[in-house]
Structure 1
Amino acid sequence: MGSSPSTVEVTSTGIGGGKAFPRPKGMSLSYWLQGVRASPLLDHRTTEGLPQAADIVIIGSGMSGTLTAYELLTRPNPPKSIVILEARELCSGATGRNAGHCKPDQYRGFAKYEKIVGAEQAKKLLEHEFETWSRVVDFVKKEKVDCDLWVGDTLDVAMSPELAAKTAAVFDAYKAYGGKVDHITYTSDPAEAEKISRLKGAQAVWSWKASTLYPWKLVAHIMKICLAQGLNLQTWTPVTSVTASPNTPGRWDVNTERGTITTPTVVFATNAYTSAILPAFAKFIQPTAHMCNKVVPPRTFAGGRALQNSYGVLAASGGLYSINPRCSADGVVLFGGSNPNQGQLKAYLDEDPMRLFDDSLGNFQPVTDAVNDLTSNAFEGWGEDPPAPGLGPEYSWSGIIGLSADSLPFIGTVPDRPGQWICAGFHGHGMAHIFTCAPGLVTLIEGGTWAETGLPECLELTPERLANIGDEPNFNKPVI
């Protein structure tokens, strides 16, 4: 959910100054991007050159940027001109690189969020995620979007007695606080947990409704509507800086390698790449690469025996596997999340800051090994078929997560920069936020109050929130 800039030397300064991250060239092709290589939207430019001015300029063509444009264009009195600038291909940032899981957290994040923002806001966050998921499903069904939508039971599976007890304690605490859990099915019987999950060693299972989908195709559908409403999309147009216009007071110059657009309103839908244009946000949003893996299941997990649930597998050795089995599509199993060996990837990235923005990485072996370990040793019967061409792990790709310093996205106006707005920092969980956050941002842009957005108060970008984060933020909070 965000733009994906290529290498540019950034000299602009953001609020309060700060150091920008460099932006590397090159990109891997995710499963989603591989499947749409013939789409003319990938490199679409509505006009040959950039317009000199626009009412609104949105930076980033992922879910955040595209949905923001949609909301602006489909409400009463839309702006006369909106330009979306994308540094590379349409939706080639995080939205086009995730594992396709839209899974609202319904209890597990309560303990973490309670420590950060208090119990009441934690409860609102979990309710907000369910509303976001509902809006995604309702939109896809209403618009008849061809994006492989699956709606079914997602499973949280605890793979050790200690994890089962810890997770159950969080569930019980959320329920005791008044959290809605009557839609969640739970078993702490290991035999039943193994049967439901098909995972040897499973100790407990929690189940509720969630979805998987083809996120690039959803963005493309929304983008087509926007283009029909007059949106100007410019791909392969990296923004180098946003500066005060020297010629027009109260306006901003959005500077690119292809020219400058002057506008009163700028929207940063840039997620992990925000600090490349707003350097001060390096203190609040940090990029880090994550890996996703594509695995073709064996005969024992195909046809009538294909996986029928999506998963969050809480591994005994630490970390979490997010699993999308594409139940309503081709049955290819996609692995994301923070599996036990993602820590080795993080150590590799930390050796060179350039790597933090580098989504050209593929097949980081320790992460792939962890996926192979789960499928071969935990899924009952997975290894019964002999190896054969076309089966098993095929490849993996990288995507850049925008880690938030307090684990929550930033929605609102950029302090000290009137007319600049932001919808970014989704901490690896954008699919469960954006379909409510982007409309909320548009409400603010149109002059509405935060209360009118319907969003949890803790998501608002305020000077006080940034001050609370301080100068030594902690980006090591769990991603999912």
Structure 2
Amino acid sequence: MVLPIDNPTKSFWIESAESPLRNHRTTEDLPKETDVLIVGSGYTGASFAYWLHKFTSNGTTPRMVMLEARDVCGGATGRNGGQLRPHFYSRYRNWSTRFGADGALKVIQHEAAHLKSFDKLFNGEGIAEKVCFKLGETFDAAMSEEAWDRLKGEYELMKKDHGENGPIIGECRLIEDSKEAEDFTQMKGCIGAVVHPSGQVWPYKFVHALLDILLSAGKLNLQSHTPALEISERGADGLITVKTNRGEIKAKTVNRWASHLLNEFSNLIYGGRGTIAAIKAPEGFIKNTGAQHWDAVVNNYHLQLPPPYNTIIIGGAKPLTVHDPWQYLNNDKEDEQFKGVPEFYSRWPKKDIVDWQGKDPADFEKKVEDGGVWSGVYSSSIDSFPFVGPVPRREGNFVAAGFAGHGMPRILGSTAHLAPLVLKELGIEYATPEAAAIFPPLPQPFLATQERIDSLKDIDAIKKFQDSHTEDLASSKKPFAAPFPQIVTD
């Protein structure tokens, strides 16, 4: 994956926000030098800049320049599902096998801490309502016996290891009665459900709100439509030179996305593509955020925005897209719609929601081509965990990338870990703000160590993609897969 595509499908999040920062350039010309250069204006870049500001509220904030290849927050964050939904239990078997019971718990506790940190940050800055932030409950709805066996099995294994009222698992609960599960989830045919705490937010507005705080304080120079093309090693003058389409800028430290700028990550971080839609709905119709599961591959997820929007955001569409996995595996074509997906989404409410009160087929909030249905690219890693920290053997370079399409409950804590490392590199004193102090230490699987990079670089990524393709095609043959408009067999 290289530079992002120039003409992506339009996203409801972006088009409806109408932010004045969309094509912002703080100065007409690119600054010649800065202390910290940040590549990317999405959730990762914005939260990192925000933490640098908050960790140095004594007035020692370093000079920051942020480069964005397209419009501000026009990438993954402006296209994601809006769910702040930690994996409270649903990855426990895999993680405990890899890292042990305590290691798995540390990953989960780091994700769960995002709910309290977001709450502290948003309310402290007075922007909770502005960004449609809401805490509540979410559910994993089992739509097949196969899904119920898996979800319940994950819950029971975690409970066995940590106790029924143990950390994290004590905040989860099972709904085993199918009628009760259907009533709670509002999903037709739900067999059972697992419920746990969660949150939701308008991701694009969230990022623009953080950037507005920084710009208003005079702490950031933001340059849209300025891709970083090449980054040098640190020179004899102690500075790193970054080439862009508008000239060069020198920096003491660089925080960046990885694949096209760091060749050691070219086999470790790669793109994937998802699809989401925005559907008109009656006010307050969806009670909780949630996800439907048919097996380990096939799912949907959704939330409803608060008034005055009332929009249902629905993503996944895997019952349909699983017929052609190359549409989402190692794919960055966010200028294209998935085959048949607009029709799938428009039929979803009547087909799947109990007592749907809207139109059938449902109306999108905007025309499909104007932001009603869109595609978005996310970055994944070869071992399903992000790389966060100083880049080994590259002095002055830091990385936070590869969040595997699950960045909302991972990035804020990751950049809170990264900010003091950069400030130490610059020799700047700092103090940890309350919202950052909520996070436990960064989990070991997140660290961008040389040992980890070396252990992963010989993995056959092509075989990994092909194996995923084969597994997903197997799901497409199961009875719950949706009819596909054009079956792809190669």
TM-score category, normalised to shorter length: 0.7 to 0.9
Q: What is the SS of the residue equivalent to 2:157?
A: helix
- CA drift of 1:346 comes to 3.5
- CA drift of 1:187 comes to 1.2
1:144 aligns with 2:126: yes
Q: Deviations over 1:398-421 (max 9, x none)?
A: 111101111111101112111000
Q: What is the SS of the residue equivalent to 1:365?
A: coil
Give the corresponding residue for 1:310: 289
In 2, are the aligned partners of 1:148 and 1:214 still within 8 Å (CA)?
yes
Task: Give runs of aligned pairs for residues 285-296 of structure 1, distance below 5 A.
Answer: 285-296=269-280
- CA drift of 1:122 comes to 1.4
Give the corresponding residue for 2:350: 376
Q: Given the alignment, which residue of 432, 437, 447 partners 1:460?
A: 447
Q: Given the alignment, which residue of 377, 381, 384 partners 1:404?
A: 381
Q: Given the alignment, which residue of 242, 252, 266 partners 2:231?
A: 242
Give the corresponding residue for 2:475: none
Task: Give runs of aligned pairs for residues 237-386 of structure 1, distance below 5 A.
Answer: 237-244=226-233, 248-268=236-256, 270=257, 274-297=258-281, 302-303=282-283, 306-315=285-294, 318-337=297-316, 339-344=318-323, 346-348=325-327, 356-362=331-337, 364-372=338-346, 374-382=348-356
1:109 aligns with 2:105: no
Could you say if the C-alpha distance between residues 34 and 286 of structure 1 is closer, same or farther in structure 2, counting changes exceeding 3 Å?
A: same
Instruction: Determine the C-alpha separation between the residues in 1 that align with 2:395 and 2:405.
Output: 28
TM-score (norm 2): 0.83
Give the corresponding residue for 1:75: 55
In 1, are the aligned partners of 2:311 and 2:365 still within 8 Å (CA)?
no
Q: Deviations over 1:11-50 (max 9, x none)?
A: xxxxxxxxx646432122211110133x321111111111
1:171 aligns with 2:155: yes
Q: Deviations over 1:228-270 (max 9, x none)?
A: 2321111110111101366x443211110101111120001x3
Give the corresponding residue for 2:482: none
Could you say if the C-alpha distance between residues 110 and 328 of structure 1 is closer, same or farther in structure 2, counting changes exceeding 3 Å?
A: farther
Q: Given the alignment, which residue of 107, 114, 117 partners 1:132?
A: 114
Give the corresponding residue for 2:168: 180
In 2, are the aligned partners of 1:164 and 1:188 still within 8 Å (CA)?
no
In 2, are the aligned partners of 1:25 and 1:358 still within 8 Å (CA)?
no
Instruction: Determine the C-alpha separation between the residues in 2 that align with 1:207 and 1:331.
Output: 23
In 1, are the aligned partners of 2:274 and 2:328 still within 8 Å (CA)?
no
Q: What is the SS of the residue equivalent to 1:307?
A: coil
In 1, are the aligned partners of 2:278 and 2:314 still within 8 Å (CA)?
yes
1:231 aligns with 2:231: no
Instruction: Determine the C-alpha separation between the residues in 2 that align with 1:393 and 1:310.
Output: 24
In 2, are the aligned partners of 1:187 and 1:205 still within 8 Å (CA)?
yes
Instruction: Determine the C-alpha separation between the residues in 2 that align with 1:65 and 1:200.
Output: 40
Instruction: Determine the C-alpha separation between the residues in 1 that align with 2:250 and 2:198.
Output: 42
Could you say if the C-alpha distance between residues 258 and 184 of structure 1 is closer, same or farther in structure 2, counting changes exceeding 3 Å?
A: same
Output the amino acid matched with 1:105: H
Q: Given the alignment, which residue of 30, 33, 45 partners 2:11?
A: 30
In 1, are the aligned partners of 2:138 and 2:196 still within 8 Å (CA)?
yes
Instruction: Determine the C-alpha separation between the residues in 2 that align with 1:91 and 1:378.
Output: 32
In 2, are the aligned partners of 1:314 and 1:320 still within 8 Å (CA)?
yes
Could you say if the C-alpha distance between residues 389 and 160 of structure 1 is closer, same or farther in structure 2, counting changes exceeding 3 Å?
A: closer
List gaps (5 residues or longer) in structure 1: 1-19
Instruction: Determine the C-alpha separation between the residues in 2 that align with 1:108 and 1:324.
Output: 19
Output the amino acid matched with 1:73: H
Instruction: Determine the C-alpha separation between the residues in 2 that align with 1:320 and 1:245.
Output: 46
Q: Deviations over 1:336-366 (max 9, x none)?
A: 246223334532466xx7xx3332223x234
1:203 aligns with 2:152: no
Q: Given the alignment, which residue of 72, 94, 108 partners 1:90?
A: 72
- CA drift of 1:329 comes to 4.5
In 1, are the aligned partners of 2:233 and 2:241 still within 8 Å (CA)?
yes
The structure 1 segments of at least 4 consecutive aligned residues displaced by more than 4 Å after TM superposition are: 383-394, 475-479
Output the amino acid matched with 2:103: Q
1:47 aligns with 2:27: yes
Q: What is the SS of the residue equivalent to 1:382?
A: coil
Instruction: Determine the C-alpha separation between the residues in 1 that align with 2:367 and 2:355.
Output: 16
Output the amino acid matched with 1:59: V
RMSD: 2.7
Q: What is the SS of the residue equivalent to 1:84?
A: strand
In 2, are the aligned partners of 1:240 and 1:277 still within 8 Å (CA)?
yes
List gaps (5 residues or longer) in structure 2: 426-436, 473-490
TM-score (norm 1): 0.85
Could you say if the C-alpha distance between residues 161 and 59 of structure 1 is closer, same or farther in structure 2, counting changes exceeding 3 Å?
A: same
Q: Given the alignment, which residue of 32, 46, 56 partners 2:36?
A: 56
Instruction: Determine the C-alpha separation between the residues in 1 that align with 2:44 and 2:317.
Output: 23
- CA drift of 1:132 comes to 1.3
Instruction: Determine the C-alpha separation between the residues in 1 that align with 2:168 and 2:23.
Output: 44
- CA drift of 1:189 comes to 1.1
Could you say if the C-alpha distance between residues 92 and 257 of structure 1 is closer, same or farther in structure 2, counting changes exceeding 3 Å?
A: same
Q: Given the alignment, which residue of 375, 395, 416 partners 2:393?
A: 416
Q: What is the SS of the residue equivalent to 2:214?
A: helix
In 2, are the aligned partners of 1:402 and 1:426 still within 8 Å (CA)?
yes
Instruction: Determine the C-alpha separation between the residues in 2 that align with 1:91 and 1:191.
Output: 42
Q: What is the SS of the residue equivalent to 1:128?
A: helix
1:429 aligns with 2:406: yes
Give the corresponding residue for 1:15: none
